[in-house]
Amino acid sequence: MRAPSEQTLGEFAKGRCLVYPQLWAAFNLHLQHCNGGIECINAWKCGSVCLKSLRDSSKDSIDEMNHLYQGLTGLRNLGNTCYMNAVLQCLCSMSPLVEYFLSGKYVTALCKENGESATAFGYLMSDMWLGEFDCVSPEVFRSVLGERYPAFTKQTQQDAQEFLICVLNELHEALKKSSSRRCQGSATGARENRATVSETSIITQLFEGQLSYDITCLECETTTDKPEIFTVLSLPIPSESACSLQDCLRCFFQQDTLTWNNQIHCSWCGTKQDAAVKANITKAPKIIIFHLKRFDCQGNYKKKLLTDICYPLSNLDLSPYSYPFFRRNSKYSLCAVVNHFGFLDGGHYTAFCKHSVTKSWYSFDDSQITAIPNSSVQTAAAYLLFYTCQAFSAPTKSC
């Protein structure tokens, strides 16, 4: 898979920004014994024998290096589709999701009415992880998705967050299974039982979380809770210069007071009343996605916040925003980033993804892939942040 053709192995490794140390050392030793002749290099590239002592180790190393290239596939830009490519690269780096599609498990869960998008997504994931090309086209997936969301078929810039939500929703609808369960809602002094229909899919299993909004009437002090499901948390940015992700989280989860036109109708008072509202996490997803609200649009007033937001690569602690009972697995590590460079009316999207095999970070800019150090993952262009509470392993094709 992706074996070098006309390039030397050294140029190939450099061009792909991958240097596997054991293979590199073996390759240099191979050249020393063979005087670096072109025949020797070609023999090495084809995995053939030029040095008997290295025959087995070189074959194993080449197979292992091919394994390292899986998931490192560029996506062709179809005309202002950088937003699509960046999001797809991030989803392609989520090993549990990729393995679900590579294993073929999605086939048995497909809904007949709208299974085309999930099927196209599965083929694209297979091309990106098991294909033989450095770059593939997402044209089929875009065409199928465009039947439901025509805006994405146009050669105009779109918002990456909106595209991400549409893809997750579409995959969930295509793969969901429904079941009924009893649900208990609560309020101070009152309890209510009701039956709900639960719809689960690989998307809800990985990305779905739940918030609980505690709403307290400031007149009678009755508190009710309002649950809300989320797959992406949109976080306000409290500063125009610099802040941290924790600052954004504190701003989102701080208590707010609803007055004037935002008053709530209190069932106990029978009228609209001022209320205090505070959100808490009651179910944290395995993979949590944060949308940094950089685009500020109020009527005709539009601008992009260029705030430099500092976010951790590991040990993101969500326990301060969760009920004590739900604080297990509250530490998260960054696994992917969607970046937006430019301004509101124009710009360019790229992605940073941590590879599940090499554990290294890579920059994906449409068809171009570049290895980057950990220090380069932090930029002022971050727009979507993907965090996981579990370390990823390499996805496998077998069930």
Q: Which residues participate in catalysis according to the annotation?
A: 82, 348
Q: Is the dihedral of CA 308, 313, 317, 318 positive or negative?
A: positive
**Count of CB atoms within 10 A of residue 170's CB?**
20
**How far out from the chain centre does Cα 296 lie?**
23
Could you say which DSSP state residue 92 is in? H
Q: Is the dihedral of CA 26, 44, 128, 156 positive or negative?
A: positive
**Count of CB atoms within 10 A of residue 113's CB?**
8
Specify whether the CB–CB gap between 226 and 267 falls below 8 A: no
Residues 6 or more apart in contact with residue 92 via CB below 8 angstroms:
71, 73, 98, 125, 128, 129, 353
* DSSP helix/strand/coil, 77: coil
Q: What angle do CA 294, 300, 304 make, to 5 degrees?
A: 15
Dmax over Cα atoms in the chain, in whole Å? 91
How far, in Å, CA of 19 to CA of 65, rounded? Answer: 9
Bridge-partner residues for 291, per DSSP?
Answer: 234, 384
Length of the chain: 399
Written as six digits, the tokens of 146 are 């465009």
Written as six digits, the tokens of 214 are 């505690």
The structure tokens 């208590």 sit at: 255
